[in-house]
A and B are shown apart, each in its own frame.
Chain A
Amino acid sequence: MPTISIYHHDLEHLLGRSIALHELEAWLPLVKGEIKDHVPATGELRIELQDSNRPDLWCVEGIARQIRAALQQQPVTYSFFSQKPRIRRRIRVMPGLETVRPFVVACCARGYTITEDSLTQLIQAQEKLADLYGHKRWTVSIGLYRLAAIRFPVTYGLVKPDEVRFVPLGFTEKLTLGEILSIHPKGQEYGEILAGHTSLPLLWDQEGQVLSFPPIINSQDLGEVKPGDTELMVEVTGTDLRMVLLTLNIFAVNLADRGATIEPIDIVYPWTTEWGRTLRTPFTINQIQRISVHAIEAALGVPLGAEAIQQALAAYGYDVKASRHTLAVRLPPYRQDVMHQVDVAEDVAISRGYNSFTPLMPAQFTVGGLSSVERLSDHVRDLMIGAGFQEIFSNILMSREDLLSRMNLPDTPETAVLEIENVMSHNYSCLRSWIIPSLLRVESASSRSFYPHRLFEVGEVAIPDSTQENGSLTLTKLGALVAHPAANFSEVHTTLDMLLYYLLTPYILEPIPHPSFLEGRAGRIIWNTCQIGLIGELHPAVLEAWHVEKPVAVFELNLDTLCQRWAQEGLGVIP
């Protein structure tokens, strides 16, 4: 979702009319845009654009174009996509690039004088497209050049890292490609894209002048565009021919909108691409698609009729012809985002305006309800609250120390805890495997709150489990904690006993040694030979590790196990 910066007067210039801010706001749903910021002094508008499949809208020209179609109720058309060039210019692609960076496309834009403002917009579009649509230049990168200095034909080929030297943008000395990768800021930033290749892509002209080292950097000599320049070449390289073509088309229509004459360049490949060996770019790959009127009407829930749909699509930029039951539609060259007829249906809705559709309440009757573990959770929460416990609600990412060493448990590499690989903060690096550490986190931070502290939390934990599809098991557990100067095992035992009485669960406690608890004051909670929980008085070493200065007794109950046992015992579903 890019946010771009545009100028009010520039937008008005491209629209060919003035537009008030509130008027613009009313048009912005057409481009899924929202004004984030407005500086009245300079006329600067910061606009956030939502649709990641519509890179043509990530620039002022694209926004203006979509509004123009709506204003004139018909698409903005461009003739240069099907025109023969007056002068033939060529780029030859050398073999070997298939495995490095296979595709290049390009065109010329003449007769428009670049201004300070339009250059800023051009560079912004270049950055947003290469960064977001082109995945930080991995799949698409863009170069702009001063056309007059280039001697055609141009070659797109491979060279060794130390074979050629040229002055990269922002430098005054010639560097080899290897040197650019190691010392130029762009080389350091994007060099990874070419990692592992012994030969590197390069564009040079007939006289051997280097245009650029894609996707890293342009040459200073040919690739520095300035205000006042009137003749440009735009070139796009990448790994996906469709994306590369779309990017070039967007630049071509943007420059045409500003008054430039677009002239194509022939790209000659040594292999056959999806569209042949020689591509005259820019060109559109979009075909006419047949879409049923009924499908659109069914999706939108309104019998609009072919004519109204045709009108809506034309006003949204489509090339469209309607018959009674079918629409022949073709997307404009600067779009490739229709994968399914539902995409066309949305465009009809956007073009007509979402708020022009009358909402209809879903009429079919359904029964609402909760999962059995949620019902058990709510039941348990009510009982705990009745017993005087304050409910706690915690983050469930914690640190490994919280779950293990602070609980006096051994922390060896084999200790199974679900840990994050790409950790953002050490404090939130593991999914909790039990609730007690979450409650101790509260106890540890709350010595100033008056005692007694009686806390509980019903929540999810996750543990590794190789028998499960996802290699882990998410469980819902109850944890309870009592802390005050006289807190002890008996007190939590009483609460547990009350709870399991009301949960119709006869249980026994089986003493166990457990490093988190005082010896002789810890036990497993067993129901019919099945462990359903744990109870005990916390070991002073645990309290010290959490900086807790009152005795603490706790228990934990596995509500998922309890739920399953209920079903197995034929007790039915939890009330």
Chain B
Amino acid sequence: MDRSTLSESLHPLEIQVLAAFSPSDHVLSDQHLHERCQLDSSQLSMAVGWLVAKQLLEIKSETVTFWVSLTDRGKEYLTRGSPPRWILHMAEEAEQAGRHLTIPVLLDAGQFEPTEISRAIGALKKEGAIRLGAGGVIERTGQPSPTAEALETLLERVRDQAQDLLTLPSVLQAVARQYAVKRGNPQEPFRIEERIHREYRLTPLGRSVAVACQPGVGEEEISQLTPELLKDGAWRTKRFRKYTIQLRPPRTAVGRRHPYREFLDQVKFKLISMGFQEMRGPLVETEFWDMDALFMPQFHPARAIHDVYFVKYPSHAGHIPEPFLSQVAAAHEHGGGTGSTGWRYTYDRERARRLILRSQGTAVSARTLAHHPAIPGKYFSIARCFRYDQVDATHATDFFQVEGIVLGEDITFRTLLGLLTLFAREMAHAQESRFLPAYFPFTEPSVELHVRHPQLGWMELGGAGLFRPEVTHPLGVTVPVIAWGLGLDRMAMIALGLHDIRDLFTADLEKIRSMRRRLF
């Protein structure tokens, strides 16, 4: 930043401080600045702080001094006398009146605290100014008390103005320290304060800027344009302070989509643009729609207690709609006219009603097949699914599956590959893709789609296949159907710069607020 920009962007307080330096003196103490600028100390220290930060001013020296001043208690001592002086005075009065002065009498007088009285008696006794006679009678000895005298002198010295401790005679320094307010003993006549004196010196840059700061300039500058200034036209005669716009602004809270949801929104709109209609299904599913309808036999290893979540209550659905239940049961048992041998076991209709948390998005497709889908038709769902997995960096308790189906007379293995090629291009911007044989219980043939992602290299993008006739026929669909699923979480995590799948659903607002992503 050059000098003129700098001087124009200065705050009025900063200008006042710089103006206090005359061309001849480049060094001023804070005391001097205080006198010359006539700013209160908080404003002054703020302005000085800014100037130091901008490297216009630097601290030349820093010295620490200790100053003795009177406390409220000290002012009482001035009118009433210090406790030693008061005790000597009381003793003198008692002698003259022929009375005996004792400690209880002093305490009853209520002038000083018991601790002050006992300390004073201790000091006077030690110095030999008094003695304690028979019956605890306090008697004067005629000896002077240096403590009483020093206290009196010091009280007078600091009566109007604080004094530099180190400039006092050593006797007074000792008394000041002894009778100064300390932690746990606020009832003392003196206070010793630490004062830091700084001397400031203009830097070479500061010197040149200070020259431009003519006295009086600060008063005309305005920092905020107001409706009043606009209304009366006064803005015409004002100068507006220039801001240091290079400084970082404070943060602000914005309304914003969740970045992972935004990613899924893009997937959603991409699928709509390719002609897919959204389908939805319930979070709580029966084993029937989640697995039986997909021709997964009831003894399938992936249906065990360690793979899906079972609902505690209600444990079973009321009924499974017909004719689907009977037709699916027949397909499992002996093929049921689908041209299949079936799984050759006795299908358990009770188990079909068992309620679970949806374990795969394909359950939504099964429901769509059974409810008069359009032919030709394309459908998708972004379905929340649940698996019985220990939660860690790669396994979430619930997650999304992007899945769907394509129905049509013209569907074959080749159109399946065609659809996957389209997904590779549209979903991953991949120019290259390759197909590998895969296994899913509900499709045949089954394909795994691998693509060369521009950033990630070869990766698995999804799985697909043609639904087995044992799936489609019992649900009332006789045309070929493609079933497809995309695994997009890895792409989402890369786009969001995350390494832990749990962060997709983080509860940490700071993390959510700071997450950014590349458009894909």
A binds B: yes
Q: Can you list 24 A-B pairs with a CB-CB distance of less than 8 A?
A: A1-B439, A52-B301, A340-B339, A342-B445, A343-B444, A345-B413, A345-B445, A349-B413, A354-B435, A354-B447, A359-B415, A362-B408, A362-B419, A370-B278, A371-B280, A388-B253, A388-B254, A390-B512, A393-B258, A396-B398, A422-B309, A425-B391, A453-B509, A474-B282
Say which residue of A301, A396, A397, A471 sits within 8 Å of B413 (CB atoms): A301
Closest beta carbon of chain A to B279's beta carbon, Å: 7
* A386 interface residue per 8 A CB criterion: yes
Say which residue of A52, A367, A445, A474 sits within 8 Å of B509 (CB atoms): A445
Say which residue of A355, A393, A431 sits within 8 Å of B357 (CB atoms): A431
The answer to whether A393 and B261 touch (CB under 8 A), given A340-B470, A470-B285, A470-B286, is yes
CA distance A345 to B412 in the complex (A): 11
* B389 interface residue per 8 A CB criterion: yes
- In the complex, the answer to whether A340 meets B338 with C-beta atoms within 8 Å is yes
CA distance A365 to B419 in the complex (A): 13
- In the complex, the answer to whether A361 meets B415 with C-beta atoms within 8 Å is yes
* A302 interface residue per 8 A CB criterion: yes
- In the complex, the answer to whether A374 meets B280 with C-beta atoms within 8 Å is yes
A360-398: which have CB < 8 Å to B? Answer: 360-371, 373-374, 378, 381, 384-397
Interface size (B, Cβ < 8 Å)?
A: 105
Say which residue of A343, A365, A418, A452 sits within 8 Å of B311 (CB atoms): A418
CA distance A366 to B419 in the complex (A): 14
* A442 interface residue per 8 A CB criterion: yes
- In the complex, the answer to whether A446 meets B509 with C-beta atoms within 8 Å is yes
The answer to whether A346 and B311 touch (CB under 8 A), given A132-B301, A460-B384, is no
Say which residue of A346, A362, A385 sits within 8 Å of B444 (CB atoms): A346
- In the complex, the answer to whether A339 meets B340 with C-beta atoms within 8 Å is yes
Closest beta carbon of chain A to B336's beta carbon, Å: 12
Residues of B within 8 A of A361 (CB): 415, 418-419, 421-422
The answer to whether A420 and B253 touch (CB under 8 A), given A445-B508, A469-B319, is no
- In the complex, the answer to whether A358 meets B412 with C-beta atoms within 8 Å is no
CA distance A471 to B311 in the complex (A): 10
| Shortest Cβ distance from B441 into A: residue | A52
Interface string of A241-272 (1 = CB under 8 A from B): 01000000000000000000000000000000
Closest beta carbon of chain B to A92's beta carbon, Å: 27
Q: Which B residues are closer than 8 A to A by beta carbons?
A: 251, 253-258, 260-261, 265, 268, 271-286, 299, 301, 305-306, 309-319, 321, 335, 338-344, 355, 357, 374, 376-378, 384, 386, 388-391, 396-398, 406, 408, 410-415, 417-422, 434-439, 441, 444-447, 466, 468-470, 480, 482, 504-505, 507-510, 512-513
The answer to whether A342 and B468 touch (CB under 8 A), given A299-B413, A393-B261, is yes
- In the complex, the answer to whether B406 meets A135 with C-beta atoms within 8 Å is no
- In the complex, the answer to whether A472 meets B355 with C-beta atoms within 8 Å is yes
Say which residue of A343, A381, A428, A469 sits within 8 Å of B321 (CB atoms): A469
The answer to whether A394 and B507 touch (CB under 8 A), given A471-B316, A471-B317, is yes
CA distance A132 to B469 in the complex (A): 26
Chain A: number of interface residues, binned into ranges: 35 or more
Closest beta carbon of chain A to B447's beta carbon, Å: 6
Residues of B within 8 A of A357 (CB): 413-414, 417, 435
* A275 interface residue per 8 A CB criterion: no
Residues of B within 8 A of A393 (CB): 258, 260-261, 504-505
The answer to whether A362 and B410 touch (CB under 8 A), given A53-B439, A390-B256, A424-B388, is yes
| Shortest Cβ distance from B260 into A: residue | A393
Residues of B within 8 A of A341 (CB): 339
- In the complex, the answer to whether A455 meets B391 with C-beta atoms within 8 Å is no
* A462 interface residue per 8 A CB criterion: yes
* A449 interface residue per 8 A CB criterion: yes
- In the complex, the answer to whether A363 meets B410 with C-beta atoms within 8 Å is yes
CA distance A422 to B357 in the complex (A): 11
Residues of B within 8 A of A386 (CB): 255
